[in-house]
Amino acid sequence: MASFTVGIVVFPGSNCDRDVSWALEGCLDIKTKFLWHESSDLNEVDSIVLPGGFSYGDYLRCGAIARFSPLINSLHDFVKSGRRVLGICNGFQILTESGFLPGALVANKNLNFICDDVDLNVITSKGGWFQKLNEKQNIKLPIAHGEGRYHCDQDTLKKLTDNDLIALKYKTNPNGSTSDIAGITNEKGNVLGLMPHPERACDESIGGIDGLYTLKSLITQ
Amino acid sequence: MDQFEVKVFIRLRPSVLDPAGEAIKSASSKLGVAGIKSLRIGKMIEVKLESNEEDIKANIELLCDRLFANTVIEDYEYSINKL
């Protein structure tokens, strides 16, 4: 049997694809394969990462045009099959624009591009994306975004809360996100969207390893 | 087939904070123009297209609903002008 392979989608304008590959291959010894956005064959990969960056130059809205790529079209069946999809930053924006996750990401409240390490509370254990050691688990991950303010209406927020779909909340809200939300999952738990970058927290020498568990959980079936 | 010119206006829904609009509102007051109660930024997209008259509205609705606007955060309206 072929070894477990994580597909990393490359759009024109993606710029964290190689970081994700470095973290998975170099830090976790997990095999990766880059998938050009025009490919629609997802048979050779077992889970998928939509990396950060500026797909299609963020034209119109972040993630709006990436949604129409053949790969995203194939992603519907991939998700239905229960395989895992992790959208990081621009990947999260693409997941909301494509309707895989509810809500939208809009310009930060203070209009700044925020590049910082943030403290986060792990809220859900759905999907097993985070190591939940106790009730109040905190992790620290880097963020780097100009349009990371999660927005949804009150009905959606209630649904997210009632169904335990909020993955991470900022301890101190940096961008004005609704209910301090930094990441959410779908109902099945196999799709996770995050504004923070777990791939940038996989080695002590660059400031922390709190992202390792989430990336490692890509190979959970 | 007829030629049409369509203007689509996209604006953030009233419930969505528009920080860039707030910044411009603040700058506007520095010009000495008093009384600005609200200022919000939208987008305008101009499209020229060829279409059957009976299809034009459905085509524009499709473009607006699926691409031009994200209806989670934005509302849209449009005007269609036959050339």
What was the ipTM of the complex prediction? 0.85
Q: What pLDDT shows up at residue B34?
A: 85
Selecting from A60, A103, A111 the residue whose C-beta is nearest the C-beta of B72 gives: A103
Selecting from B12, B17, B72 the residue whose C-beta is nearest the C-beta of A109 gives: B17
Helix/strand/coil for B79: strand
A60, B20: Cβ pair inside 8 Å?
Answer: no
Which residues of chain B neighbour A61 with C-beta distances below 8 Å?
70
Q: What pLDDT shows up at residue B21?
A: 94
* Beta strand pairing call for A138-145 and A149-151: unpaired
**Could you say which DSSP state residue B66 is in?**
I
User: What is the end-to-end Cα distance of chain B in Å, rounded?
Assistant: 11
B72, A110: Cβ pair inside 8 Å?
Answer: no
Per-position pLDDT tens, chain B of length 83: 899 999 999 999 999 999 999 999 989 888 888 899 999 999 999 999 999 999 999 999 999 999 999 999 999 999 999 99
pLDDT tens sequence across A104-130? 999 999 999 999 999 999 999 899 999
Which residues of chain A neighbour B67 with C-beta distances below 8 Å?
60, 64, 68
Give the HSE-up count for residue A73: Cα atoms under 13 Å, Cβ half-sphere: 9
pLDDT band of residue A135 (cuts 50, 70, 90) is low
Mean pLDDT score across all residues of chain A: 94
Residue B78 CB coordination number (10 Å): 18
A106, B20: Cβ pair inside 8 Å?
Answer: no
Of all helices (H) and strands (E), which one includes residue B9? strand B2-12
pLDDT tens sequence across A165-199? 999 999 999 999 999 999 999 999 999 999 999 99
